[in-house]
Structure 1
Amino acid sequence: TVPNKAVVTLQPNWSEIYRGETITLRCEIKDGGDTDWEYEWRTTNSEKPLNQNELSIRSVSASHSGVYRCKGRKKSEKSSTDWSDPFKLTVSDKPRPVLNVSPSWLSAGASVTLNCSVEDQSAGWRFYWYKAAPIQLDDNYSYELLPGSSGGTEQDSYIVHGQTHTAGYVCRAGRGDPVYYTYHSQPKFVWTGDFHSSVSLTVSPDKAQHFISDSMSLKCKGNSGEWRVMRLATDSHLSNCSSWGTMIGSTCSLETVRSSYAVYWCESESGEFSNAVNITIQYTHIILQSPAHPVTEGDSVSLNCYLRREVIESSVFFYHNDKLIQNDTRLELDISAVSKSDEGFYKCQYSRKESAPSWMSVQAVSRPKSSSVPVLLIVGLVCGIVLVIPLLVLFCYRASNGENFYFCN
């Protein structure tokens, strides 16, 4: 036996190895110098390494898991090293990263932050970011790389600026050369309740809370010929209407609503998403009937506290963002002209029974931008008279204070 020590090393030296990666196990002789060595391997699995100093595995699998040992023998002599210490190789299943989005509900034009997390986060991963587009034949999505992420990013976060519509996002990670990719993450969504002209979802009856025995229909509107209505429940289970309702044309009908809480939206065959709605299903005897869709500034709104089997005998309490705003025997809270300050969570309470809170979204009134056409007409009327003078050069100036006044000379 020679005093040199044999050691099994792993390249790349990552703490976790996943199915499908390319790895190399190497037998290194410490202080081996220029000696010409022969090598011998032992494993606890079915792998039969050749008598070489390297064992390269192009696509590692669970069958390669086990303990590896090696030793070196001098070709010119019969002496050899001791067996190396055991090296344990564990091959794990291909990972699926987890994507989180913030915020999950949009204010128009807000920035959305995506965060992608992988097991062993620091082990050489680069992150790839995608926007999800519906595939109408099933519940799957196609993925389109977001700008600047074709080569992956070192950062595990990505910011989408100016998002205005409901959208789905996906991430995955890659490392090594050639690049080894994880699975794609499950799609995560950022929603908006605002209507858009291309595609929209309406709920009938228009209320955010329902009793468990209620029926409900969801109708998709837009220029698409094919639709699917999607639901994401609190257990993160994503499914379409065919799993829990009846889809006829552009309408999904539910005879009995069962999911205690879910977000619903429409997806078109052209890859567009509609507004989204929160629906809460109550198993108790009290609900707050509030609009499932955004209300417009200036509109009148009535929020109703609905009791299934009881007669009102005492005060009903209405809360806005947990602040008491009405306390009498009326079952409704009337707002004659809604403003943006009325947006928020509402709930009602009666006889120690409390409804679930519902978010009421208030949509600002769109005001048309000032047009330059009237200004041009005024300029033409005021200065056009002078144009009848032959060979006159006309100069027009805008007022220095930026107002829409023009002077001609």
Structure 2
Amino acid sequence: MAPVALALILGWWLVAVIRAQHLPRPSLWLHPSQGVSVGDNVTLRCHLPWPVAWVWLYQEGGWTYSKSKDKQQDAAEFSFISTSREHAGTYRCQYREPESAKISEQSDPVQLVLTDHSFPPPGISLRPEERVGTGTNVTIHLWNKGFEATFLLHKDGCSAPVQHQDSSWGGAANFTVFGVAPADAGTYWCSYRPWHYPHLSSPLGDSVMLEVTPTPAPPGKSDPFFQCTPCCGWVAVSLHPVCMGVVAGNRNNQTPHRCQRIVPCKSGDSTGEGLGRCTRLWPWSLLCH
């Protein structure tokens, strides 16, 4: 009997896998996609490739929601009226095809991050505070009231945070922009997400303005910095013939837009001065050998 039972179990598992492989995966979207606070209304919309009978919405580590869907609709909506902290989290959706009862794979995850105004807004400052010239190193200092948290740096014109960093003891973090270029200029804010509530965010704090004065290139030399769009990651490109070309990718996989600039520097350092064998991916340094 044991071989027969094992064969039946393997057969059921194989059928389930085949069924899932034949159904396109649904997609899940948030409306609105950002800027949702505790107490606001939000809708999670599961987009479907064809009419289905049932749709499930799963909250990771939390609730499961289900609903039947009208065959004339290409999406199923799950709305939360007056959201609470418990609604924050990671969600996926899945559907069942009516005729064959096949069940699809789950959609890619979507994060519902809620701004909680019970958290005090963070502070932010620039060092140096005055207008700086191209190539200067600038530190953006962030702090809160002692929360252990992940700080997120926001820049005017960028829909997603441009950088994030875990706080040190005492609830503070520093972001250093090495060798600023005109594209770094702009208005910056920050927020934080407490470690114990990773899907809850503080409100944005006060802003700071980074002003960059372009430094003229020396006679006979072209300016090595190229103006690029203000969002949101850097790609380092080597000027040395041995390692010419792109040598590093984006700094934040969740940021959809990229810009590029050439960063020359001396061999063995990351100062951004002169020409040499090293290249830099902001905010880290990378050497070509």
State the structure with more CA Rg.
Answer: 1
TM-score range, shorter chain: 0.3 to 0.5
More strand by share: 1
More relative contact order, 1 or 2 (CA 8 Å, 6+ apart): 2
Q: TM-score, normalised by structure 2?
A: 0.34
